[in-house]
Amino acid sequence: MKAKHRFIASIIVLGLLMTGPFCITSLLIWLDMKDAEREMLTRLLLQRLPIGTMMTLFGFGIGVLVLHKLFKQYVEGLLRMSETLRLMLGANRNFRVSPEGPPEVQQLAIAANDLAEQRNQLMDDVDAQIARAKASVEEEKNRLAALMSELAQAVVVCNLDGRILLYNNRARLQFKALALGPTSVSGGALIGLGRSIFSILDKSQVEHAQEVIRGRLAGGKTPISNFITSTRGGQLLRVQMVPVLAAGNDGEHSMRGFVLTVENITRSLEQEARRDQVMHSLTEGTRASLGNIRAAVGNLIDYPDMDAELRERFVKVVDDEAAKMSRSLDQTMGEFSDSMKARWPLEDILAIDIIAAAERRINDKLKLPTKTEDIDDALWIKADSYSLVFALTFLASRLQDHYEPRELRFRLTNEGKLAYLDLIWAGPAMSSETFYTWEMDAMQIGSENSPLSLRDVIDRHGGEIWYQREKAAHRAYFRFVLPLATPEAIGESEERQRGSGRPEYYDFDLFSTRDTTIDLDRKLSDLAYTVFDTETTGLEPSNGDEIIQIGAARIVNNRLLRQEIFDQIVDPEIPLKPESIPIHGITEDMVLGKPNIDVVLPAFHAFCEDTVLIAHNAAFDMRFLQLKEERTGLRFTQPVLDTLLLSAVIHPNQESHKLDVILERLGIKIDSRHNALEDAWATGEVFLKMVPLLEEKGIVTVRQAIEASAQTRFARVTY
């Protein structure tokens, strides 16, 4: 029976107690009396009935007040206390009951707090032990993750369903670069733990590769498979697959997942295609002209007695076609000079790194001091760093042998698309013959030999080298001219700043989860969620207020993934209300030039795919999304959980369910809460704390959570 019902029952009992004995006694006396006595009594009583009733009512009133006070203090006070005790038991074990109310209740509160204190110490001990045990396992995992994240190759590990359980930074950047249009605003949302790799790679190709690997495993061959696939954006990826094997019972290896290494080969294929084009234009393009010349010349030779006019015409054909061939040759060389270079694996490298390496070698090998001057430290060049450093050291050793300079200097400048790397020394002029032999001889530094000459190295780099004097300064230098590289833009610094802990790039527990589709009857802890928050121009979506920011993060396998986020400011296309600016901190300048909701919403929709949505006071945010359904044609049909309602489910007797209050109540510390993303994170933390609390209440599945939410009084608020 509920406390309220018991209170009402008590009042009824009180009323009965106060009137019952009197009434029964009166009835008994009445039955015993004669008619005349009854008449007299009636007269007597009727006169005095008001005062009697008043007295009874007064007594009843006092009784009710006392009862109510006792109820408040003992029953409701204890109820509140039991709620806080549950809180201590579950979410926040540092929470303490505040001793209030009558002395007995206060005693109970103090005793409970003492118990909690003792339990805290015990738990700390246990926690410490568990932490020690876990640490070594965790360290191993972290080492693996760190190793993966630093690899220069893009690596993705998936379970057999194609769900991603690990990816490294390179993969993230590579797929981010692949993201088309709207998805690019979500920071590479396509890739993420628990997401399907098939949103990026063609499913049938991946499955075919799996088949190939199974076949190779069965045949006792190296289990590996390669394929080339094109993305929706027309980029070409070369993918290599190797299996993740688990030992079966009979010693057979069964495949539990697979590792993909992915390389974007679009660029190199383009180069190959251009090379093909050159070959084509140089062979077939020449054939026709050469054919014309040959036929004309054949006639001239075979029929020497032809008339002068005809001879003239044949000679003109030869002249014509020869000129045409020269022109086309020039054109081809001009157009394709980049592709004509010898193919030598050159990498994009910072030129100062080359200089630093060369300085170290020169100091070590030749004991010759070096300095730098006028260095542009932001120049990227295309280089084979080993041979280039070898060449620099070789020149330094020749200089040392011939001119014994006291020191060498490096200078690094650039001019247009070229980098100038100068090796400078003070000394007499050298003859061009000397330099010519240095250029053409195979390089040698002490006992170290290279099969290459300096000229070979320069040619490989598609560069040039010359000797020049600075007369005024009485010094000379060798100038290496090298083509600049345009390194792929990689926003790594920004990626690294986010979150201080290790990046959540892996979750090996996903190996066993085979299904992440939304099923309302699955456990809350098993599903993938998107926690999100919006900032808006105002509080009235139905009155024209618009979204100006969406922030979201994902929860997979009971972890809030801080790397997989959606964080986008939206141009509302209406003026911001000045009074709202201090609340969300977004100014006109910040929304200027940002995509509008038509661009952002599809990206957000894709980000949320296959997840349950969570927001604090979700009804408000969902209203904004629903109002855009018609315009964008996007419907958010997935189930929605609301941390405000869930809080009311867990703590129905607490007054406030504001996010700040809940955070404090559940003992969650948040660095800062300023924008949509940080609020989404906070909401995510709150939800994760709530899952076990809901479980205590018997709310285990999403369906139960939604049903319980709908029962709370807050569920009736609409926007």
Partner 1 sequence: MSKKILIVDDEPNIVISLEFLMKKEGFQVAVAGDGEEALAKVASFAPDLLLLDVMMPKKSGFEVCEALRTDSANSALKIVMLTAKGRETEVAKGLAIGADAYVTKPFSTKDLVVRVKELLGAV
Residues that bind partner 1 (CB under 8 A): 283-285, 287-288, 290-296, 298-299, 302-303, 306, 310, 313-314, 317, 320-321
Question: Is 321 or 422 the residue whose CB approaches partner 1 more closely?
Answer: 321
DSSP for 119-180 reads HHHHHHHHHHHHHHHHHHHHHHHHHHHHHHHH-SSEEEEEETT-BEEEE-HHHHHHHHHH--
Helix (H) or strand (E) holding 374: strand 370-375
Q: In terms of residues, how long is the chain?
A: 719
Instruction: Give the span between the Cα atoms of 3 and 117, in whole angstroms.
Output: 30
Give the shortest CB-294-to-partner 1 separation in angstroms.
4
Of residues 256 and 280, the one with the C-beta less far from partner 1: 280
Smallest distance, partner 1 to C-beta of residue 270, A: 23
Distance between CA atoms of residues 532 and 675, nearest Å: 11
Report CA-CA distances (Å) from 469 to 422, 423, 569, 589. 11, 11, 57, 54
Contacts with 182 (C-beta within 8 Å, 6 or more apart), sequence order = 595, 599, 600, 602, 603, 606
Q: Which is nearer to partner 1, 300 or 668 (CB)?
A: 300
* 295 vs 356 by CB, closer to partner 1: 295
524 phi and psi angles, rounded to 5 deg? -55, -35
CB of 340 to partner 1, least distance (A): 21
Dist. CA 348–CA 704, nearest whole Å: 56
Backbone angles phi, psi at 296, to 5 degrees: -65, -45
Alpha carbon 615 to chain centroid, angstroms = 19
Q: What does DSSP say about strands 612-615 and 559-569: parallel, antiparallel, or unpaired?
A: unpaired
- Compute the least distance from the CB of residue 275 to partner 1, in Å: 17
Question: 287 or 406: whose CB is closer to partner 1?
Answer: 287
User: Contact at 8 Å (CB) between 149 and 169?
Assistant: yes
Nearer to partner 1, 271 or 286 (CB): 286
Residue 298 C-beta: closest distance to partner 1, Å? 3
Here the tokens at position 598 are 């038509």
| Cβ 276 to partner 1 shortest distance, Å | 13
Q: Which is nearer to partner 1, 324 or 605 (CB)?
A: 324
Is 317 or 481 the residue whose CB approaches partner 1 more closely?
317
CB of 306 to partner 1, least distance (A): 8
CB-CB contact of 167 with 156 (8 Å): yes
Q: Which helix (H) or strand (E) holds 672?
A: none
CB of 303 to partner 1, least distance (A): 6
**Residue placing its CB nearer to partner 1 in the complex, 283 or 543:** 283
User: Angle at Cα 154 formed by Cα 149 and Cα 155, nearest 5°?
Assistant: 70
DSSP string, 334-365: HHHHHHHS-----EEEEHHHHHHHHHHHIIII
> What's the min distance (Å) between Cβ of 302 and partner 1?
7
Compute the least distance from the CB of residue 268 to partner 1, in Å. 24
For residue 527, the minimal CB distance to partner 1 (Å) is 56
Angle between helices 77-89 and 103-150 (to 10 degrees): 30
Q: CA 193, CA 508: separation in Å to the nearest integer?
A: 10
Residue closer to partner 1 (CB basis): 303 or 403: 303
Pairing of strands 612-615, 529-536: parallel
Between 3 and 323, whose beta carbon lies closer to partner 1? 323
